[in-house]
Amino acid sequence: MTILIVLVVVVLLLLFVGALYNGLVRKRNSVDNGWSQIDVQLKRRLDLIPNLVETVKGYAEHEREALEAVIAARNGAVAAPDTPGAQAAAEGPIAGALRQLFAVSEAYPDLKANTNFLSLQEELSATEGRIE
């Protein structure tokens, strides 16, 4: 009888450990999937930036400082290692440079009315929302 009780306890313990392991693997896969979704959105934003810079260049020639800040921030993010910490550190300067660029655009009514600029700005805002 004692052997049967020990055997049942061992089997229950093995079932518990197996279920715990499977749960941890599921959670790890969920985290990996979440990071890959964030990575996709970060790359999407990096791909939109050159189009935005080209659109603004035509209207704001003497605002070269803001454009160069955006380009430098993007280059820094592209060169960053492919780890979540490094990407997060590289994304701060991009957000600041884009805010500066959008603030500069307020001084150019023609630029604010440009449909290409407006669509790029909307896409970047939507991408920012998905990243968050």
- Give me the amino acid identity at 110: D
pLDDT score at 107: 75
| 118 assigned to some structural domain | yes
Dist. CA 7–CA 110, nearest whole Å? 80
pLDDT score at 60: 65
CA dihedral sign of residues 49, 71, 91, 80: positive
| 63 assigned to some structural domain | yes
pLDDT score at 26: 97
Structural domain harbouring 91: 33-131
Q: What is the CATH number of the domain that holds 66?
A: 1.20.1440.20
Please provide the average confidence, as pLDDT, over all residues in the chain: 84
pLDDT score at 62: 59
Mark the ranges of the chain whose per-residue pLDDT is less than 70.
Answer: 59-63, 112-113
Residue among 74, 77, 53 at smallest CA distance from 64: 53
Residue among 42, 98, 46, 90 at smallest CA distance from 69: 98
The SS3 assignment for 74 reads helix
| 94 assigned to some structural domain | yes
pLDDT score at 115: 78
